[in-house]
Amino acid sequence: MAMWGLTIVGLCALIAVDFFIGGRKPHEVSLKEAGIWTTVWIVLAGLFGLGLLVFAGGQPSGEFFAGFITEKSLSVDNLFVFVLIMAKFAVPTIYQQRVLMVGVLIALVLRAVFIAAGAAIISTFAWVFYIFGAFLIWTAWKLIQEARSDEEEEEFEENRLLKAVEKRVPSTDQYHGTKLFIMENGKRLMTPMLIVMLAIGTTDVLFALDSIPAIFGLTQDPYIVFTANAFALMGLRQLYFLIGGLLKKLVHLSYGLSVILGFIGVKLVLHALHESGVHVPQISIPVSLGVICAVLAVTTITSLYASKKQALAEAGTGEGGSRDRDSADV
Protein backbone atom coordinates (compact mmCIF):
# COMPACT_ATOMS: atom_id res chain seq x y z
CA MET A 1 0.00 0.00 0.00
CA ALA A 2 2.87 2.36 0.78
CA MET A 3 4.38 1.73 -2.66
CA TRP A 4 1.04 2.34 -4.36
CA GLY A 5 0.56 5.54 -2.37
CA LEU A 6 4.02 6.88 -3.19
CA THR A 7 3.58 6.02 -6.86
CA ILE A 8 0.22 7.80 -7.14
CA VAL A 9 1.58 10.85 -5.29
CA GLY A 10 4.61 10.87 -7.59
CA LEU A 11 2.43 10.66 -10.72
CA CYS A 12 0.21 13.47 -9.43
CA ALA A 13 3.30 15.60 -8.81
CA LEU A 14 4.57 14.96 -12.35
CA ILE A 15 1.17 15.79 -13.81
CA ALA A 16 1.06 19.03 -11.77
CA VAL A 17 4.53 20.03 -13.00
CA ASP A 18 3.51 19.23 -16.58
CA PHE A 19 0.39 21.39 -16.19
CA PHE A 20 1.96 24.42 -14.52
CA ILE A 21 4.98 24.52 -16.83
CA GLY A 22 3.49 23.61 -20.18
CA GLY A 23 -0.29 23.41 -20.00
CA ARG A 24 -1.60 26.15 -17.70
CA LYS A 25 -1.72 28.90 -20.33
CA PRO A 26 -3.61 28.04 -23.55
CA HIS A 27 -1.29 28.25 -26.56
CA GLU A 28 -0.36 26.53 -29.78
CA VAL A 29 2.11 23.74 -29.09
CA SER A 30 5.24 23.94 -31.22
CA LEU A 31 7.10 20.87 -32.50
CA LYS A 32 10.02 21.82 -30.25
CA GLU A 33 7.87 21.93 -27.12
CA ALA A 34 6.09 18.69 -28.04
CA GLY A 35 9.43 17.01 -28.72
CA ILE A 36 10.93 18.11 -25.40
CA TRP A 37 7.96 16.92 -23.32
CA THR A 38 7.67 13.65 -25.25
CA THR A 39 11.33 13.00 -24.51
CA VAL A 40 10.82 13.90 -20.84
CA TRP A 41 8.00 11.38 -20.38
CA ILE A 42 9.90 8.63 -22.22
CA VAL A 43 12.99 9.30 -20.07
CA LEU A 44 10.85 9.21 -16.92
CA ALA A 45 9.39 5.87 -18.00
CA GLY A 46 12.92 4.59 -18.67
CA LEU A 47 14.11 5.71 -15.23
CA PHE A 48 11.11 4.05 -13.60
CA GLY A 49 11.90 0.81 -15.43
CA LEU A 50 15.53 1.01 -14.32
CA GLY A 51 14.34 1.63 -10.76
CA LEU A 52 12.34 -1.60 -10.97
CA LEU A 53 15.47 -3.36 -12.24
CA VAL A 54 17.51 -2.15 -9.26
CA PHE A 55 14.95 -2.66 -6.50
CA ALA A 56 12.78 -5.51 -7.83
CA GLY A 57 14.89 -7.42 -10.36
CA GLY A 58 15.02 -8.10 -14.08
CA GLN A 59 11.63 -9.82 -14.40
CA PRO A 60 9.45 -6.89 -13.23
CA SER A 61 11.61 -4.44 -15.16
CA GLY A 62 11.30 -6.47 -18.38
CA GLU A 63 7.54 -6.77 -17.89
CA PHE A 64 7.25 -3.00 -17.41
CA PHE A 65 9.21 -2.16 -20.57
CA ALA A 66 7.29 -4.74 -22.63
CA GLY A 67 3.99 -3.39 -21.26
CA PHE A 68 4.98 0.25 -21.73
CA ILE A 69 6.06 -0.24 -25.35
CA THR A 70 2.90 -2.22 -26.12
CA GLU A 71 0.61 0.38 -24.50
CA LYS A 72 2.50 3.21 -26.20
CA SER A 73 2.15 1.63 -29.63
CA LEU A 74 -1.54 0.92 -29.07
CA SER A 75 -2.08 4.48 -27.83
CA VAL A 76 -0.65 5.87 -31.08
CA ASP A 77 -3.66 4.29 -32.78
CA ASN A 78 -5.84 6.34 -30.41
CA LEU A 79 -4.43 9.51 -31.92
CA PHE A 80 -6.27 8.87 -35.18
CA VAL A 81 -9.57 9.05 -33.28
CA PHE A 82 -8.41 12.08 -31.27
CA VAL A 83 -7.81 13.92 -34.55
CA LEU A 84 -11.37 13.08 -35.64
CA ILE A 85 -12.76 14.26 -32.30
CA MET A 86 -10.91 17.59 -32.53
CA ALA A 87 -12.26 18.10 -36.04
CA LYS A 88 -15.79 17.05 -35.05
CA PHE A 89 -16.00 19.65 -32.27
CA ALA A 90 -13.90 22.25 -34.13
CA VAL A 91 -11.59 22.74 -31.15
CA PRO A 92 -9.44 25.88 -31.54
CA THR A 93 -5.73 25.06 -31.76
CA ILE A 94 -4.83 26.96 -28.60
CA TYR A 95 -7.26 24.89 -26.51
CA GLN A 96 -6.37 21.43 -27.86
CA GLN A 97 -3.62 20.93 -25.30
CA ARG A 98 -6.01 21.55 -22.38
CA VAL A 99 -8.61 19.22 -23.91
CA LEU A 100 -6.09 16.42 -24.27
CA MET A 101 -4.68 16.90 -20.78
CA VAL A 102 -8.05 16.57 -19.03
CA GLY A 103 -9.26 13.91 -21.47
CA VAL A 104 -6.20 11.77 -20.81
CA LEU A 105 -6.64 12.15 -17.04
CA ILE A 106 -10.23 10.93 -17.36
CA ALA A 107 -8.97 8.02 -19.47
CA LEU A 108 -6.34 7.15 -16.85
CA VAL A 109 -8.93 7.02 -14.05
CA LEU A 110 -11.24 4.82 -16.14
CA ARG A 111 -8.35 2.52 -17.05
CA ALA A 112 -7.45 2.19 -13.38
CA VAL A 113 -10.97 0.85 -12.80
CA PHE A 114 -10.54 -1.60 -15.69
CA ILE A 115 -7.15 -2.74 -14.33
CA ALA A 116 -8.54 -3.32 -10.83
CA ALA A 117 -11.44 -5.33 -12.26
CA GLY A 118 -9.13 -7.33 -14.52
CA ALA A 119 -6.74 -8.12 -11.68
CA ALA A 120 -9.61 -9.26 -9.45
CA ILE A 121 -11.03 -11.51 -12.18
CA ILE A 122 -7.64 -13.05 -13.03
CA SER A 123 -6.84 -13.79 -9.39
CA THR A 124 -10.17 -15.59 -8.99
CA PHE A 125 -10.70 -17.26 -12.36
CA ALA A 126 -7.59 -18.55 -14.16
CA TRP A 127 -9.68 -19.63 -17.18
CA VAL A 128 -10.25 -15.96 -18.04
CA PHE A 129 -6.88 -16.11 -19.86
CA TYR A 130 -8.59 -18.22 -22.53
CA ILE A 131 -11.15 -15.45 -23.03
CA PHE A 132 -8.52 -12.71 -23.08
CA GLY A 133 -6.39 -14.66 -25.55
CA ALA A 134 -9.29 -15.45 -27.87
CA PHE A 135 -10.47 -11.84 -27.72
CA LEU A 136 -7.02 -10.50 -28.66
CA ILE A 137 -6.71 -12.93 -31.57
CA TRP A 138 -10.16 -11.91 -32.79
CA THR A 139 -9.24 -8.22 -32.41
CA ALA A 140 -6.05 -8.81 -34.40
CA TRP A 141 -8.05 -10.42 -37.22
CA LYS A 142 -10.55 -7.56 -37.15
CA LEU A 143 -7.72 -5.01 -37.41
CA ILE A 144 -6.35 -6.78 -40.48
CA GLN A 145 -9.79 -6.82 -42.10
CA GLU A 146 -10.25 -3.11 -41.43
CA ALA A 147 -6.77 -2.32 -42.76
CA ARG A 148 -7.44 -4.25 -45.98
CA SER A 149 -10.79 -2.55 -46.59
CA ASP A 150 -10.90 0.68 -48.55
CA GLU A 151 -13.35 2.32 -46.16
CA GLU A 152 -11.89 5.00 -43.92
CA GLU A 153 -13.48 6.50 -40.83
CA GLU A 154 -13.96 10.13 -41.71
CA GLU A 155 -16.17 11.33 -38.89
CA PHE A 156 -16.33 10.74 -35.16
CA GLU A 157 -19.56 9.18 -33.91
CA GLU A 158 -20.58 10.27 -30.41
CA ASN A 159 -21.13 7.47 -27.91
CA ARG A 160 -24.28 7.01 -25.86
CA LEU A 161 -22.86 8.73 -22.78
CA LEU A 162 -22.06 11.90 -24.71
CA LYS A 163 -25.46 11.92 -26.39
CA ALA A 164 -27.16 11.50 -23.00
CA VAL A 165 -25.11 14.33 -21.46
CA GLU A 166 -25.82 16.70 -24.37
CA LYS A 167 -29.51 15.82 -24.24
CA ARG A 168 -29.98 16.27 -20.48
CA VAL A 169 -27.57 19.15 -19.76
CA PRO A 170 -28.22 22.55 -21.38
CA SER A 171 -25.23 23.53 -23.51
CA THR A 172 -23.88 26.14 -25.89
CA ASP A 173 -22.04 25.59 -29.15
CA GLN A 174 -19.63 28.48 -28.55
CA TYR A 175 -16.23 28.15 -26.86
CA HIS A 176 -15.57 30.53 -23.96
CA GLY A 177 -11.87 30.09 -23.37
CA THR A 178 -11.19 27.09 -21.13
CA LYS A 179 -14.44 27.48 -19.19
CA LEU A 180 -16.51 24.33 -18.79
CA PHE A 181 -19.72 26.15 -17.78
CA ILE A 182 -21.00 29.67 -18.34
CA MET A 183 -23.97 31.71 -17.15
CA GLU A 184 -26.15 33.07 -19.95
CA ASN A 185 -29.46 34.86 -19.32
CA GLY A 186 -29.48 33.44 -15.81
CA LYS A 187 -29.06 29.89 -17.10
CA ARG A 188 -26.05 27.63 -16.50
CA LEU A 189 -24.81 26.18 -19.78
CA MET A 190 -22.18 23.55 -20.56
CA THR A 191 -19.55 24.56 -23.12
CA PRO A 192 -18.15 22.37 -25.94
CA MET A 193 -14.88 22.31 -23.96
CA LEU A 194 -16.36 19.91 -21.39
CA ILE A 195 -18.07 17.81 -24.05
CA VAL A 196 -14.90 17.23 -26.04
CA MET A 197 -12.96 16.39 -22.86
CA LEU A 198 -15.54 13.73 -22.05
CA ALA A 199 -15.33 12.51 -25.64
CA ILE A 200 -11.56 12.01 -25.40
CA GLY A 201 -11.75 10.29 -22.01
CA THR A 202 -14.71 7.99 -22.67
CA THR A 203 -13.60 7.03 -26.17
CA ASP A 204 -10.34 5.73 -24.72
CA VAL A 205 -12.38 3.16 -22.78
CA LEU A 206 -13.05 1.39 -26.09
CA PHE A 207 -9.32 1.13 -26.72
CA ALA A 208 -8.81 -0.16 -23.18
CA LEU A 209 -10.90 -3.20 -24.08
CA ASP A 210 -7.96 -4.58 -26.08
CA SER A 211 -5.00 -2.81 -24.45
CA ILE A 212 -5.76 -3.99 -20.90
CA PRO A 213 -6.03 -7.71 -21.84
CA ALA A 214 -2.89 -7.24 -23.97
CA ILE A 215 -0.75 -6.01 -21.09
CA PHE A 216 -2.18 -8.67 -18.76
CA GLY A 217 -0.77 -11.10 -21.30
CA LEU A 218 2.69 -9.73 -20.51
CA THR A 219 2.37 -9.38 -16.75
CA GLN A 220 -0.20 -10.22 -14.08
CA ASP A 221 1.16 -7.64 -11.63
CA PRO A 222 -1.50 -4.88 -11.28
CA TYR A 223 1.18 -2.40 -10.19
CA ILE A 224 3.18 -2.85 -13.39
CA VAL A 225 0.01 -2.82 -15.49
CA PHE A 226 -1.09 0.49 -13.95
CA THR A 227 2.29 2.24 -14.14
CA ALA A 228 2.89 1.13 -17.74
CA ASN A 229 -0.53 2.51 -18.69
CA ALA A 230 0.08 5.72 -16.74
CA PHE A 231 3.41 6.51 -18.43
CA ALA A 232 2.05 5.57 -21.86
CA LEU A 233 -1.01 7.79 -21.48
CA MET A 234 0.66 10.79 -19.84
CA GLY A 235 2.98 11.30 -22.79
CA LEU A 236 0.14 10.94 -25.28
CA ARG A 237 -0.79 14.62 -25.27
CA GLN A 238 2.62 15.78 -26.46
CA LEU A 239 2.86 12.88 -28.91
CA TYR A 240 -0.37 14.12 -30.51
CA PHE A 241 1.28 17.40 -31.51
CA LEU A 242 4.62 15.82 -32.35
CA ILE A 243 3.50 13.19 -34.84
CA GLY A 244 0.17 14.66 -35.92
CA GLY A 245 1.39 14.96 -39.50
CA LEU A 246 3.20 11.63 -39.36
CA LEU A 247 0.05 9.68 -38.50
CA LYS A 248 -1.11 9.68 -42.11
CA LYS A 249 2.21 8.12 -43.14
CA LEU A 250 1.90 5.16 -40.76
CA VAL A 251 -0.18 3.25 -43.30
CA HIS A 252 0.87 -0.16 -41.99
CA LEU A 253 0.30 0.59 -38.30
CA SER A 254 -2.88 -1.50 -38.13
CA TYR A 255 -1.02 -4.51 -39.51
CA GLY A 256 1.74 -4.10 -36.92
CA LEU A 257 -0.72 -3.75 -34.06
CA SER A 258 -2.65 -6.79 -35.27
CA VAL A 259 0.54 -8.87 -35.22
CA ILE A 260 1.35 -7.68 -31.69
CA LEU A 261 -2.17 -8.36 -30.39
CA GLY A 262 -2.25 -11.77 -32.10
CA PHE A 263 1.14 -12.67 -30.63
CA ILE A 264 0.07 -11.69 -27.11
CA GLY A 265 -3.22 -13.54 -27.62
CA VAL A 266 -1.32 -16.74 -28.45
CA LYS A 267 0.93 -16.10 -25.43
CA LEU A 268 -2.17 -15.83 -23.20
CA VAL A 269 -3.66 -19.07 -24.54
CA LEU A 270 -0.35 -20.89 -23.93
CA HIS A 271 -0.22 -19.46 -20.42
CA ALA A 272 -3.80 -20.62 -19.77
CA LEU A 273 -2.96 -24.12 -21.01
CA HIS A 274 0.13 -24.17 -18.79
CA GLU A 275 -1.99 -23.13 -15.78
CA SER A 276 -4.36 -25.99 -16.62
CA GLY A 277 -1.50 -28.49 -16.39
CA VAL A 278 -0.87 -28.91 -20.12
CA HIS A 279 2.82 -29.06 -21.06
CA VAL A 280 3.23 -26.30 -23.65
CA PRO A 281 6.10 -23.91 -24.37
CA GLN A 282 6.02 -20.61 -22.48
CA ILE A 283 6.99 -17.34 -24.19
CA SER A 284 9.43 -15.41 -22.01
CA ILE A 285 9.39 -11.66 -21.45
CA PRO A 286 12.69 -11.05 -23.35
CA VAL A 287 11.22 -12.86 -26.38
CA SER A 288 7.98 -10.86 -26.08
CA LEU A 289 9.90 -7.59 -25.83
CA GLY A 290 12.03 -8.50 -28.84
CA VAL A 291 9.03 -9.46 -30.98
CA ILE A 292 7.12 -6.27 -30.08
CA CYS A 293 10.10 -3.98 -30.84
CA ALA A 294 10.89 -5.82 -34.09
CA VAL A 295 7.28 -5.60 -35.32
CA LEU A 296 7.08 -1.88 -34.55
CA ALA A 297 10.41 -1.20 -36.28
CA VAL A 298 9.43 -3.14 -39.42
CA THR A 299 5.97 -1.50 -39.46
CA THR A 300 7.44 2.00 -39.21
CA ILE A 301 10.03 1.38 -41.94
CA THR A 302 7.57 -0.20 -44.39
CA SER A 303 4.97 2.52 -43.67
CA LEU A 304 7.38 5.34 -44.39
CA TYR A 305 8.63 3.58 -47.54
CA ALA A 306 5.07 3.01 -48.81
CA SER A 307 4.09 6.62 -48.05
CA LYS A 308 7.14 7.96 -49.86
CA LYS A 309 6.46 5.72 -52.85
CA GLN A 310 2.83 6.84 -52.97
CA ALA A 311 3.84 10.51 -52.74
CA LEU A 312 6.28 10.09 -55.65
CA ALA A 313 3.61 8.33 -57.69
CA GLU A 314 1.10 11.11 -57.02
CA ALA A 315 3.71 13.74 -57.89
CA GLY A 316 4.44 11.94 -61.16
CA THR A 317 0.74 11.72 -61.96
CA GLY A 318 0.34 15.41 -61.24
CA GLU A 319 3.19 16.35 -63.51
CA GLY A 320 1.83 14.09 -66.23
CA GLY A 321 -1.61 15.65 -65.84
CA SER A 322 -0.12 19.12 -66.15
CA ARG A 323 1.72 18.16 -69.35
CA ASP A 324 -1.49 16.71 -70.81
CA ARG A 325 -3.40 19.92 -70.04
CA ASP A 326 -0.63 22.04 -71.60
CA SER A 327 -0.75 19.91 -74.75
CA ALA A 328 -4.51 20.24 -74.91
CA ASP A 329 -4.25 24.01 -74.59
CA VAL A 330 -1.73 24.12 -77.44
pLDDT single digits (tens) 259-304: 888 888 888 788 778 777 778 787 877 888 888 888 888 888 888 8
What is the structure's pLDDT at 44? 92
Instruction: Taking residues 205-222, report their average pLDDT.
Output: 78
144: Cβ contacts below 8 Å, ≥ 6 apart: 254, 255, 258
pLDDT band per the 50, 70, 90 thresholds, residue 26: confident
The pLDDT of 92-121, averaged and rounded, is: 83
What is the reported pLDDT for 330?
Answer: 46
In this predicted model, which residue has the larger pLDDT, 27 or 112? Answer: 112
Say whether pLDDT at 167 is over 60. Answer: yes
Q: How far apart are CA 32 and CA 14, in angstroms?
A: 20
Residue 139 near residue 159 (C-beta atoms within 8 A) = no
Cα–Cα distance, 131 to 268 (Å, whole number): 9
User: Alpha-carbon distance 236 to 233, whole Å?
Assistant: 5
Cβ atoms 217, 282 nearer than 8 A:
no
Check whether 236 has a pLDDT greater than 50: yes
**Selection from 76-80, 97-101, 154-158, 227-231 with the highest mean pLDDT:** 227-231
Of the pLDDT bands very low, low, confident and very high (cuts 50, 70, 90), residue 324 is: low
The sign one gets for the Cα dihedral 210, 254, 257, 134 is positive
pTM for the model stands at 0.73
pLDDT of 65 reads 92
- Confidence band (pLDDT; 50, 70, 90) for 17? confident
> How many CB atoms are closer than 10 A to CB 27?
14
The most confident of 56-60, 79-83, 140-144, 272-276, by mean pLDDT: 56-60
> What would the mean pLDDT of 54-58 be, rounded to a whole number?
89
Return the pLDDT at 152: 52
Mean pLDDT computed over 110-130: 80
Give the Cα separation of 268 and 195 in Å (integer): 37
**pLDDT at res. 154:** 53
Give the model's pLDDT for residue 136.
Answer: 80
Confidence of residue 198 (pLDDT cuts 50, 70, 90): confident
Distance, in Å, from the CA atom of 90 to the CA atom of 150, rounded to the nearest integer, reads: 26
Q: Write down the domain spans for the chain.
A: 1-77+103-151+206-309
pLDDT at residue 191 is higher than 70: yes
Specify whether the CB–CB gap between 41 and 236 falls below 8 A: no
Residue 51 pLDDT class (50, 70, 90 cuts): very high
Range of lowest pLDDT (38-47, 61-70, 111-120, 239-248): 239-248
pLDDT exceeds 70 at position 3: yes
Mean residue pLDDT of the chain comes to 79
